[in-house]
Amino acid sequence: RPRIFSGVKPTGHLTLGNYLGAVRRWVEEDQYRADALFSVVDLHALTVDHDPARVRRLTRQAATLLLASGLDPEHCTVYVQSHVDEHTRLSYLMECTAADGEMRRMIQYKEKTAREWERGGSVRLSLLTYPALMAADILAFDTDEVPVGDDQVQHVELARDLAQRFNQRYGPVFTVPRATRPPVAARVMDLQDPLSKMGKSHAETAGIVYLLDETDVVRKKIMRAVTDSGTDVVYDPVQRPGVANLLDVLASCTGDKPEVLAEQFTSYGALKGAVAEAVLELLRPVRARHAELCADPSYVDGVLRAGAERARGLARPRVDAAYAAVGLLPPA
Ligand code: TYM
């Protein structure tokens, strides 16, 4: 069985993008076909300004939502990153393997720093080194596959490069991982700005569907989605990004092809109505289960405790081997 690792960063409430691009596949396929670990990667949330109480709340909420979405602790391991020290232990070795230039070339780093610098602000050093921690997350577990949305593929490829470089320098310690992407909805776009990704930490929320949004809010956001000029429904992500995004979301919900779905609608209004109903149908059981789990926090605590214990046990020998390989004297 392949080993799978993936994670979600608690910098905001989980979105439809997280769900369609990543979580749904973890739930429906990955946990059953592989030995899979899924982590709420809270250390990554400290790379930007944050409110401690909010990060704590969002971490618990993300873990609860992963379980509510259908991750089953009988089939996979769910835990919080900061509960397992091996992540930060290995992260340092990744910083010693990576070159600063390749970190600076990461698209997300360039975008986030450009935005910050424009406002006259500064960015944290950890934002630059973030992909080293992410590589450590992956490599600590002999991971074969990393199921992610499009925006994380570059980071996984860096993890791949670092694994190969480390192995060349010090001997075969790490499994070389690869990213896997969903066939559709690998990049769900903001409903108000279909040229940008639907991101959980954006300030403007009208174009973002959160998994925990109320029914009427979800419907309103989708019905108000920006569409393109023209009135006919065609699938053309370049010329008609707004409509293409709605078709991608619908295709992801129904399992059809976006090109085929386009032929079934003659107006934008009808398309939006269908998207809203499909999304609501998908989210309804998640929200119901989330409410149940919130009423029973000791269940979630138990899952996270057992998950961290298993993750620690798996990562420990791999990270110890990496420490020994680079020349650190093992403790007597
Ligand atoms: P994060 O928390 O931003 O997103 C979690 C997952 O959701 C996917 N995703 C999307 N997919 C499609 N459309 C969107 N609009 C969209 N927005 C987010 C992401 O691609 C991701 O798969 N750095 C990672 C977390 C991480 C990680 C890891 C992932 C840390 N260590 C190790 C995999 C392996 C992140 O910020 O994801």
Residue nearest to atom 9 of ligand 1 (CA): 18
The answer to whether position 187 is within a domain reads no
Asked if 143 and 242 sit in the same domain, the reply is: no
More confident residue, 22 or 200: 22
The residues assigned a catalytic role are: 112, 197, 200
Q: DSSP strand E in the chain: where?
A: 3-8, 35-40, 76-80, 145-147, 178-180
Residue nearest to atom 26 of ligand 1 (CA): 7
Asked if 150 and 87 sit in the same domain, the reply is: yes
Name the pLDDT band for 230 (thresholds 50, 70, 90). Answer: confident
Residue 120 DSSP one-character state = T
Helix axes 107-118 and 153-170, enclosed angle (nearest 10)? 120
In this predicted structure, the answer to whether residue 323 has a pLDDT above a threshold of 90 is yes
When pLDDT is averaged across residues 21-28 and rounded to a whole number, the result is 98
In this predicted structure, the answer to whether residue 278 has a pLDDT above a threshold of 90 is yes
Asked if 277 and 319 sit in the same domain, the reply is: no
The answer to whether position 249 is within a domain reads yes
Asked if 301 and 268 sit in the same domain, the reply is: no
Residue nearest to atom 34 of ligand 1 (CA): 6
For 5-14, 198-207, 307-316, which range has the lowest pLDDT when averaged over its residues?
198-207
**Cβ neighbours of residue 241 closer than 8 Å, sequence gap 6 or more:** 189, 194, 195, 228
Asked if 229 and 84 sit in the same domain, the reply is: no
The answer to whether position 207 is within a domain reads no
Residue 330 DSSP one-character state = P
Asked if 135 and 12 sit in the same domain, the reply is: yes
Asked if 258 and 134 sit in the same domain, the reply is: no
The answer to whether position 197 is within a domain reads no
Atom of ligand 1 nearest to the CA of 153: 20
Distance CA 113, CA 132 (A): 17
Residue 200 DSSP one-character state = T
The answer to whether position 243 is within a domain reads yes
Asked if 130 and 13 sit in the same domain, the reply is: yes
Question: Mutate which of 126, 146, 151, 248 to test ligand 1's pocket (most atoms within 8 Å of Cβ)?
Answer: 151
| CATH code of the domain covering residue 219 | 1.10.240.10
Question: For the chain, what is the radius of gyration of the CA atoms?
Answer: 20
User: Is the Cβ–Cβ distance between 287 and 109 less than 8 Å?
Assistant: no
In this predicted structure, the answer to whether residue 202 has a pLDDT above a threshold of 90 is no
Q: Any residues with Cβ below 6 Å from ligand 1, and which? A: 5-9, 17-18, 21-22, 41, 44, 134, 137-138, 146, 148-149, 151-152, 155, 186-188, 197-198
Name the pLDDT band for 121 (thresholds 50, 70, 90). Answer: confident
Measured in angstroms, how far is the CA atom of residue 140 from the centroid of ligand 1?
A: 18
pLDDT per residue as tens digits for the range 76-117: 999 999 999 999 999 999 999 999 999 999 999 999 999 888
Residue 196 DSSP one-character state = S
Distance CA 301, CA 304 (A): 5
Asked if 248 and 313 sit in the same domain, the reply is: no
| CATH code of the domain covering residue 174 | 3.40.50.620
pLDDT at 294: 96
In this predicted structure, the answer to whether residue 35 has a pLDDT above a threshold of 90 is yes
Asked if 268 and 305 sit in the same domain, the reply is: no
Range of the domain at 46: 3-181+297-325
The answer to whether position 156 is within a domain reads yes
pLDDT at 69: 98
85 annotated binding-site participant: no
Measured in angstroms, how far is the CA atom of residue 160 from the centroid of ligand 1?
A: 17
Question: Mutate which of 15, 19, 103, 148 to test ligand 1's pocket (most atoms within 8 Å of Cβ)?
Answer: 148
Residue nearest to atom 4 of ligand 1 (CA): 8
The answer to whether position 232 is within a domain reads yes
pLDDT at 212: 97
State CA 93 to chain mean position distance: 23
State CA 201 to chain mean position distance: 13
122 annotated binding-site participant: no
249 annotated binding-site participant: no
In this predicted structure, the answer to whether residue 201 has a pLDDT above a threshold of 90 is no
198 annotated binding-site participant: yes
Asked if 310 and 260 sit in the same domain, the reply is: no
198: nearest Cα among 146, 255, 151: 151
Our count of domains for the chain comes to: 2
The answer to whether position 128 is within a domain reads yes
When pLDDT is averaged across residues 201-206 and rounded to a whole number, the result is 88
131 annotated binding-site participant: no
Measured in angstroms, how far is the CA atom of residue 330 from the centroid of ligand 1?
A: 35
Asked if 57 and 15 sit in the same domain, the reply is: yes
Distance CA 282, CA 62 (A): 17
**Cβ neighbours of residue 47 closer than 8 Å, sequence gap 6 or more:** 124, 126, 127, 130
Distance CA 22, CA 185 (A): 9
Place of tokens 């934002």: 127
Measured in angstroms, how far is the CA atom of residue 150 from the centroid of ligand 1?
A: 8
Measured in angstroms, how far is the CA atom of residue 153 from the centroid of ligand 1?
A: 9
Amino acid 9 reads K
User: Is the Cβ–Cβ distance between 7 and 81 less than 8 Å?
Assistant: yes
Other beta carbons within 10 angstroms of residue 55's beta carbon come to: 16
In this predicted structure, the answer to whether residue 306 has a pLDDT above a threshold of 90 is yes
pLDDT per residue as tens digits for the range 159-183: 999 999 999 999 999 999 999 999 9
When pLDDT is averaged across residues 140-168 and rounded to a whole number, the result is 98
